[in-house]
Amino acid sequence: MTPNGTALRALRQVQSLSLRDLARLADTTASQISRIERGEIGEPGEELLRRLADALSVSVDDITRGDPVPPTKTKDERAKTQPEREVPYPGTPEGEVFHYTPDEAARFLPWSALQLRRKAYAREIPFNDGGKRVTFTGRNIREISDMTEVRPLAETTQRRSA
């Protein structure tokens, strides 16, 4: 699907949205939207186009050049196309150096994959930022787990009184 940058800009301006406002609504960056509007990105991906269309309350056809919109795959269909990889437990020697995706790390932590990504981008938790992808090693998962550990009531009461 090829985006229509002129239509995207016109819709954004009619709704009095800045690049930053639309970026926040579509969960992307203002620079990426600007590049789409200027025609510097050929095919940004159907998921981003869907988020932009939802943020502007229009159909995807309104911001593309008339290419047909492929149907959205369900989570189960996406899971079938991507083979499940073997994930070692973070406490094992293999897990120490293994790079877990946010989806894989969410199995061991009290947050969802989306929350882990957001906390990593906000630099609230330790993570690896190699290749513009957020990943976590076993050490990162252990540190995050220690940070979120629930302390016994007696221990927290002692600290306050001391």
Identify the domain boundary among 63, 84, 106. 63
Rounded CA-CA distance 47/35 in Å is 17
- Least confident segment among 114-118, 124-128, 152-156: 152-156
Average pLDDT over residues 107-132: 85
The yes-or-no verdict on residue 36 having pLDDT over 60 is yes
Amino acid symbol at 145: S
Tell me the pLDDT of the chain averaged across its residues: 81
- Among the listed residues 85, 96, 94, 110, the one whose alpha carbon sits nearest the alpha carbon of residue 138: 96
- Residue 1: predicted pLDDT: 66
Question: What's the pLDDT tens digit per position in 138-151?
Answer: 888 888 888 877 66
- Is 71 within the bounds of a domain? no
- Residue 145: predicted pLDDT: 85
Are residues 50 and 94 located together in one domain of the fold? no
Which domain CATH number covers 45? 1.10.260.40
Residue 48 sits in which domain range? Answer: 5-63
Rounded CA-CA distance 20/12 in Å is 11
Are residues 126 and 160 located together in one domain of the fold? yes
Question: What's the pLDDT tens digit per position in 59-102?
Answer: 888 888 765 545 555 656 655 666 678 888 888 888 888 888 89
Identify the domain boundary among 35, 63, 91. 63
